[in-house]
């Protein structure tokens, strides 16, 4: 029923032509989910020498998948009377991000097959920062400091919205630092960096094109 309700919403938005931005974001989200599904299928069919790193990688895919679903559904509810649900979905989309980045860090360290003392200290920083980021999202949602849903059901950024960018940037910088200083084939370095660097680049687009969801 939920799937058909979503399709009905998309058809309605497309028909009236008043919410083309919402329709574009949901459509892009559906394409993203298809791509993630193909990636998960390819990963499950492959053979991994390290079972733990394989599980971590699949965990990253699942978290991003859930993040896209929450983001998609929140766009589908934009401008409707379901204000509380829209608020919760946006909060979950933001909370999922630090969990995915923590897995990203652990996956990168697992792929490197070693764990230097410096990496342990950076890992502690990343874990503590992730906890603070999750608390920031929860408190920022409750108080409206991070974002809020207006009376007409529209998503609005709060005065502290910029704080949502701090943790992803910290994590990606730490991962990039570890990536550069380790001896690895160039292809593996690029593959590891892409997962973290690409969303950060997308964050830059969000600052200029706020009406379109690009991070996930």
DSSP 31-63: HHHHHHHHHHHHHHHS--S-HHHHHHHHHHHHH
**Residue 85: pLDDT band with limits 50, 70, 90:** very high
Q: Answer yes or no: is pLDDT of 4 > 60.
A: no
* C-alpha–C-alpha distance, residues 90 and 166, integer Å: 18
CA distances 25 to 12, 125, 143, Å, are 15, 34, 26
Q: What is the mean pLDDT of the chain?
A: 78
**Residue 183: pLDDT band with limits 50, 70, 90:** confident
Cβ–Cβ contacts within 10 Å for residue 80, how many?
13
pLDDT, average across residues 47-57: 76
| Sign of the CA dihedral running 79, 84, 88, 94 | positive
- Helix 83-112 to helix 117-143 angle (10° resolution) is 180
**Residue 173: pLDDT band with limits 50, 70, 90:** confident
pLDDT, average across residues 174-198: 80
C-beta of residue 66 within 8 angstroms of C-beta of residue 40: no
pLDDT, average across residues 53-67: 86
24-28, 116-120, 135-139, 197-201 — most confident range: 135-139
| H or E element that contains 3 | helix 2-16
Would you report the helix, strand and coil content of the chain in percent, each value rounded to 5? 80, 5, 20
- The pLDDT, as a whole number, for residue 134 is 93
Place of tokens 């990253």: 60
Per DSSP, the three-state class of 67 is helix
pLDDT, average across residues 166-189: 81
Cβ–Cβ contacts within 10 Å for residue 144, how many?
14
Cβ–Cβ contacts within 10 Å for residue 66, how many?
16
- The pLDDT, as a whole number, for residue 209 is 62
Share above pLDDT 90 across residues of the chain, in percent, rounded to a whole number: 10
- The pLDDT, as a whole number, for residue 141 is 92
pLDDT, average across residues 171-184: 80
- The pLDDT, as a whole number, for residue 208 is 64
Short-list 22, 5, 10, 14, CA closest to 212 = 22
pLDDT in tens, 90-126: 899 889 988 988 888 888 877 765 555 667 778 888 8
pLDDT in tens, 140-150: 999 999 989 98
- The pLDDT, as a whole number, for residue 16 is 43
């Amino acid at each position: 029923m939920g799937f058909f309700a979503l399709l009905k919403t998309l058809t309605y938005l497309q028909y009236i032509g008043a919410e083309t931005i919402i329709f574009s974001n949901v459509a892009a989200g559906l394409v993203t989910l298809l791509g993630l599904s193909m990636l998960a299928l390819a990963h499950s069919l492959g053979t991994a020498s390290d079972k733990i790193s394989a599980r971590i990688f699949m965990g990253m895919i699942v978290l991003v998948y859930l993040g896209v679903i929450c983001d998609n559904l929140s766009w589908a509810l934009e401008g409707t009377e379901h204000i509380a649900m829209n608020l919760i979905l946006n909060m979950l989309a933001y909370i999922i991000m630090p969990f995915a980045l923590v897995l990203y860090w652990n996956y990168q360290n697992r792929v490197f097959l070693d764990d230097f003392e410096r990496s342990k200290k950076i890992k502690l920083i990343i874990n503590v920062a992730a906890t603070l980021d999750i608390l920031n999202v929860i408190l920022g949602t409750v108080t409206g400091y991070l974002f809020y849903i207006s009376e007409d059901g529209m998503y609005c950024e709060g005065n502290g919205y910029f704080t949502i960018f701090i943790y992803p940037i910290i994590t990606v910088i730490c991962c990039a630092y570890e990536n550069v200083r380790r001896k690895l084939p160039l292809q593996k370095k690029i593959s590891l960096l892409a997962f973290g660097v690409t969303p950060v680049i997308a964050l830059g687009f969000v600052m200029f094109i706020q009406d379109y969801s690009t991070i996930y």
